[in-house]
A and B are shown apart, each in its own frame.
Chain A
Amino acid sequence: MKMAALAAISLAASISLSAQWLNYPTSGVPKKADGTPNLDAPTPRAADGKPDLSGLWLLEKNLPCPKDGCADMEVSREFINLGWNVPGGVPYQPWAAELVKARREQNGKDDPGANCRPTGIVKETINPFFRKFIQLPGELVILMERDTVYRQIFTDGRPRLLDPLPTPNGYSTGHWDGDTLVVETSGFSDGVWLDRTGNPLTESGKIAERYRRANYGNMDLEITVDDPKAYTKPWTAKVKEFIQPDTEMLDYFCLENEKSISHAVGK
C-alpha cells in the first residue's frame, strides 16, 4: 500500500514536470475574472493595426463520431472531402469525377499524405494537427505539427511568379482586404490531393484563402479552389479554427516508424 502510494506520488511528480513542456502557459492570453482564457476578447492587433493572426490553431472537429466511439484522432468533414458542403456538390470535370471515384474505390491508397510525401497547403490546413501562425512584418509563417514542416506567405508586396518551379505547397503571397488576410497561391505540382477523397489540384490550379480572426479565440477561413482543368467553376469551403492556449506542438514525422502504407490496399 505504502509502496503503491509512493509510486503514485512519484508518477504524479514526473507527469507534472514533463507536462510543463506541453502545458506551459502561453503568454498574453486575455483572461476572464475567474482566470480562464477569454476567447471572446477582441482580436489582437499587430503594430500596423492589422489583425494579428499569431497563435496556435486547430481546425473544428465537425465530423460526428461513429456509434462505437470517436477515433483517437478526430478529423473534420473537410479533411475527408473539402467540398462536402458545396451546394450541388463539387463541380467536377468528367475526368476528375472519374478519378475521385477510382481513388475512393482504391481506399485512397495513393494519397501522398498516406505515403509520407508532402500533402500541400490545403490538406495541411484541414488536417487534425496543430498549426502555429507567426505574423511578422512582411510575412506570415505557419509551422505545422504534421511532419514538422513550415509554409511562408509573403505580405511584403513581392510580385507573383510567372513561371515558378512547381511544388506541392506552391508560392503564396498575401494582402489585407480590410481585416481579412487574402492569400493567393499558385505554382503547384500536379498530383496534389486536396483531401482524403482525392479531389485533385492540377498545375494550373489557384487557391485563394481568406483568413478573418473574429476575436481572440476564433478564426474563420474560406478556401476557394479555382482550377478550370479539374472543375467546371471555382468552389469554396468554409472552415473554423480555434485558438489553443497553454499547449505546444510536438515533432511528428510520418516516415518515422511508419506502419500505415502496407495496410493501404486497394482493389
Chain B
Amino acid sequence: MAELSHRWGSEKSDGSPNLEAATPRTADGKPDFSGIWDTPKNRPCPPDGCPDQEVSQEFVNFGWSLKGGLPYQPWAAELVRARREQNGKDDPGTHCLPIGFLRLHTDAMYRKTIQLPGLLVMLNERNASFRQIFLDGRPLPEDPNPSWNGYSTGKWEGDTLVVATNGFHDAQWLDRSGSPLTSDAKVIERLRRPNFGRMEVEVTVDDPKAYTKPWTVKLDLILMLNTELLDDNCLESEKDIPHLVGK
C-alpha cells in the first residue's frame, strides 16, 4: 500500500537522469521551462536539526546574498525591524492570503511550470494556486485592478524570457522578514534554463519608494523529477495563527 501510494509521486525511472543535458526546446526553438522546480535549501540547519520544511535563505531575507543587504529606505528599514520584532505575525502568507508573485520563486513548496504557445503557467503547490505569464504579445494593462500576482507579460531576448509585471498592490511581503514591495515598483524577472536540470530567475526590483536604488537578486531553481505536486490548502486545519503573537 505504501508503495502504491508512493508511486503517485514517483513514477519509475529507468536509469539516472542527466541533469546536465542540453536545455529542452519547444517547437519554435525557444527554451522550454516546463517542469517541476524547487528552491535549493541553502540555509544551514540549526544545531538541533533541520525543520520538516527547510526553507531557503531568500525565503527568510530576499536580499541575503547582496552585500549590505537590501537597500531599504529609512521607513522600510524601520518597517522590517518592526515586523521582525513582531515575529512576522502579520505576514499575509501566514494568514492564508496569497504570498505574491515574487515569493513564488523562494517558497519551500514545488512549482510546476507549463509552457504553451503564448502562455507560461506556474502552478504553485502552496494553496494549489496558479500564476499566468502571457507571451502572446498583449500589452500590460494601463490601470489594472491591483492584485497579489499582478499582470505579467513576457518576451524573448535570445534564450532569456524577460517578464514584466505591473498591477500588484502594496500588501505583499517579499520575504519572512517583511521586506516591502510598493505598487509603484517596476519588477523584471529574467528566466533562463541553462541546462536540463537548472533554471535561473534574475529578479530586478526598481522601487524608489521603498529602496534607495534598484537591486537584483539571482535565484537558482532545481528541477525535481519523478514527483508531483500535492494539494496544500493553508486554511484547512490551520494551526499557526493563534501561535503567532507579537510584542
B-binding residues in A (CB < 8 A):
14, 17-18, 20-21, 24, 27, 116-118, 134, 136, 141, 143, 147-152, 156, 158-159, 161-165, 167-169, 171, 189, 249-251, 253, 255-256
Query: What is the CA–CA distance of A117 and B230 in the complex, to the nearest angstrom?
Result: 17
A17 x B139 contact (CB < 8 A): yes
Residues in B36-77 with C-beta less than 8 Å from chain A: none
Contact residues of A: prevailing secondary structure: loop
1/0 contact string of B92-124 vs chain A (CB within 8 Å):
000111100000000000000010111001010
Q: Select which of B97, B143, B145, B230 is within 8 A of A255 by beta carbon.
A: B97
How far in angstroms is the closest Cβ of chain B from A27?
6
Query: What is the CA–CA distance of A14 and B143 in the complex, to the nearest angstrom?
Result: 8
A159 x B114 contact (CB < 8 A): no
A158 x B7 contact (CB < 8 A): yes
Contacts of B233 in A (CB 8 A): 117-118, 167-168
1/0 contact string of B137-155 vs chain A (CB within 8 Å):
0111111110111010000
Query: What is the CA–CA distance of A114 and B145 in the complex, to the nearest angstrom?
Result: 23
How far in angstroms is the closest Cβ of chain B from A216?
18
A20 x B138 contact (CB < 8 A): yes
Query: What is the CA–CA distance of A253 and B102 in the complex, to the nearest angstrom?
Result: 17
Q: List 11 A-B contacts (CB under 8 A).
A: A14-B142, A17-B142, A116-B235, A149-B128, A150-B128, A156-B11, A158-B11, A161-B4, A163-B1, A168-B233, A251-B149
How far in angstroms is the closest Cβ of chain A from B135?
11
How far in angstroms is the closest Cβ of chain B from A132?
8
A163 x B236 contact (CB < 8 A): no
Contacts of B177 in A (CB 8 A): none
How far in angstroms is the closest Cβ of chain B from A119?
11
CB-CB under 8 A for A251 and B4, given A17-B142, A168-B231: no
B8 x A164 contact (CB < 8 A): yes
5 tightest Cβ-Cβ pairs between the two chains A and B: A21-B141, A251-B147, A24-B138, A17-B142, A167-B231
Q: Select which of A27, A117, A149 is within 8 A of B129 by beta carbon.
A: A149
